[in-house]
Amino acid sequence: MKSSAVYERLQTRLRDVTNLRAAAAVLEWDQEVNMPPKGTDARGRQLGTLNAHAHTLFTCEETGDLISQAGEDAEHLDPDARSLVNEAAYDYDRARRIPEVFVRRFSEARSRAYQAWLEARKRSDFALFLPHLETIVRLCREEAEYLGYRENPYDALLEGYERGMTTAELRRIFSVLGTSQRELTARIGAAQESPGPDWLRQSWDVNRQWEFSLRVLRDMGYDFDAGRQDRSAHPFTTNFSIHDVRITTRLSEDDFFSALFSSIHEGGHALYEQGFREEDEGLLLAAAPSLGMHESQSRLWENLIGRSLAFWTHYLPTLRELYPGQLDRVGAEQLYRAANRVSPSLIRVEADECTYNLHIILRFELEVALIEGNLAVADVPAAWNEKMKRYLGVIVPNDALGCLQDIHWSHGSFGYFPTYALGNLYAAQLFNTMKQEVPGFDAQIERGEFRGCLDWLRSRIHRTGRRKTAIEIIHEATGTPPEPGVFLAYLESKYGSLYNLG
């Protein structure tokens, strides 16, 4: 077969796999947003069939042959085609290292662990989850052996979420982050008046919150002809193509910020997915290179733009119109302060910018110890509570608010948490460079003009897709590899002036 014919057949195969995966994503979106309660069982079976078909189609010998034949003729391909073949080879190789029987076993264990976790969290009873978590850890260790690694079995898992990142490198980064963020949080704690301002404790009409979130998303550049926002219990972003990228948010009448920051966060993810190249549509390259890189986009929009004084300066008049009488005596500075309150708390997803990474470091340390075999699963609650006290100064009253709060372990997603912290670091590095390269950046934000920001992200990040790793992209875009310094300097500068720290 001619090399171009092989390459075309490979493209067709990859598009078919993408189509099956996209169909599964539609079914999952529907499950969270629309599905009537009795539809659950059938939906589980439908997703099972779809995922099995997609997996089989991608990992079969025929796909492997197409990839290796296309790879042999790689010198006749243009650079994009070569990238595609390389990425396909990478995914194929990783998928084929795991035996089919193990995939099924792991999948069944996850389903059971998830059900047990739901119940355990509800009753705040770690014992109910313990045997399942033991199984999950054992299977993750087994998976690491199948996947292979050089130094640490945790590296093998990490690779699935943040390619090229290592346990050793994370330890180095997190050691710097942890010390500095604990120290900063302590200084803020001493300086901050609690509780928060009285004006926040009003009722905020949810329809107005919805309207405002749509307005901000539109301003950010989110294309509603290629997406939509809905409500769901847990906000998320999903895509079925470059031209159908959907987000969800949740609305709470008591909470002025929650829906907005959810929408901006998911909007940041969505802008990334709407920004891949048209010619990559349906192929592997229309994807982020890592979860950390994906998270950098959501956090950059949510925290570095959405929690800036310029942002609130621009939107204050809009908000006063939306909530007549409710914000008459509140200025942009007060909105900015309220959006940036720092208070060490029990729950990761509610954590502020100063303390968020501390929650991640705690989880990372426990995960590594579990995978290395240096921590027994039964000892997780005690270890969790001890670290919460040490890192955040918080006493954990029960496991529901402690080590049972996250879904990730029940899903078997060991190695996932660090990407949240990396997202923060990448975001700070990107933002720092963007501010230097986009003329009049702050003034643009104050005018509600996000086009300069979006264009910069499109050209440096979005349009690259998976052609480079996150580490390469950050290095090229900012001149330095991932490192904690820029993020820490950002925190120091922002919170130093907010709290008049010496």
Lookup: tokens for 313: 């300066």
> What secondary structure does DSSP assign to 306-371, as a single string?
TTSHHHHHHHHHHHHHHSTTTSTT--HHHHHHHTT-----S-GGG--TTTHHHHHHHHHHHHHHHH
38, 79, 329, 374: residue in contact with a copy of itself (rule CB under 8 A): 38
> What secondary structure does DSSP assign to 489-502, as a single string?
HHHHHHHHHHTT--
Using rule CB under 8 A, residue 227 touches a copy of itself: yes
Using rule CB under 8 A, residue 273 touches a copy of itself: no
Q: Please state the closest distance from residue 223 (CB atom) to a copy of itself, in A.
A: 7
Q: Contact at 8 Å (CB) between 70 and 85? A: yes
CB atoms within 10 A of CB 30: 12
CB-based contacts of 214, cutoff 8 Å, min separation 6: 224, 229, 263
Q: 13 or 187: whose CB is closer to a copy of itself?
A: 13
Using rule CB under 8 A, residue 218 touches a copy of itself: no
User: How far, in Å, are 119, 164, 176, 386, 400 from residue 125 at the CA level?
Assistant: 8, 37, 34, 18, 7
1, 4, 5, 45: residue in contact with a copy of itself (rule CB under 8 A): 45
Phi, psi (rounded to 5 degrees) for 100: -50, -45
Q: 15 or 234: whose CB is closer to a copy of itself?
A: 15
9, 32, 53, 334: residue in contact with a copy of itself (rule CB under 8 A): 53
Q: 75 or 225: whose CB is closer to a copy of itself?
A: 225
Stretch that binds a copy of itself, among 42-50, 74-82, 330-338, 454-462 (CB under 8 A): 42-50
Lookup: tokens for 220: 């950010």
Helix axes 258-274, 451-460, angle to 10 degrees: 50
CA neighbor of 182 nearest in space, from 303, 351, 358: 358
42, 186, 382, 489: residue in contact with a copy of itself (rule CB under 8 A): 42
206, 226, 369, 383: residue in contact with a copy of itself (rule CB under 8 A): 226
Lookup: tokens for 271: 């802008």
Q: Please state the closest distance from residue 237 (CB atom) to a copy of itself, in A.
A: 14
Using rule CB under 8 A, residue 278 touches a copy of itself: no
37, 195, 324, 479: residue in contact with a copy of itself (rule CB under 8 A): 37
Q: Which of 266, 295, 353, 365 is catalytic?
A: 266
CA neighbor of 171 nearest in space, from 316, 364, 311, 336: 364
Phi, psi (rounded to 5 degrees) for 205: -50, 125
Q: Please state the closest distance from residue 32 (CB atom) to a copy of itself, in A.
A: 13
Distance CA 67, CA 71 (A): 6
Q: Please state the closest distance from residue 428 (CB atom) to a copy of itself, in A.
A: 32
Using rule CB under 8 A, residue 20 touches a copy of itself: yes
Using rule CB under 8 A, residue 8 touches a copy of itself: no
106, 204, 240, 495: residue in contact with a copy of itself (rule CB under 8 A): 240
Based on the number of CB atoms within 10 Å of its own CB, is 227 exposed (0-12), middle (13-18) or buried (19 or more)?
Answer: buried
Using rule CB under 8 A, residue 50 touches a copy of itself: yes
Using rule CB under 8 A, residue 27 touches a copy of itself: yes
Using rule CB under 8 A, residue 225 touches a copy of itself: yes
Q: Which helix (H) or strand (E) holds 106?
A: helix 100-123
Distance CA 470, CA 451 (A): 23
The verdict on whether 437 is a catalytic residue reads no
| Residues in 142-181 that interact with a copy of itself by CB under 8 A | none
Q: 238 or 340: whose CB is closer to a copy of itself?
A: 238
Q: Please state the closest distance from residue 370 (CB atom) to a copy of itself, in A.
A: 35
Q: 35 or 200: whose CB is closer to a copy of itself?
A: 35
Using rule CB under 8 A, residue 55 touches a copy of itself: no
Rule CB under 8 A: which residues touch a copy of itself? 15-16, 19-20, 22-24, 26-27, 30, 34-39, 41-43, 45-46, 48-50, 53, 223-228, 240-244, 281-282
Residues with catalytic function: 266
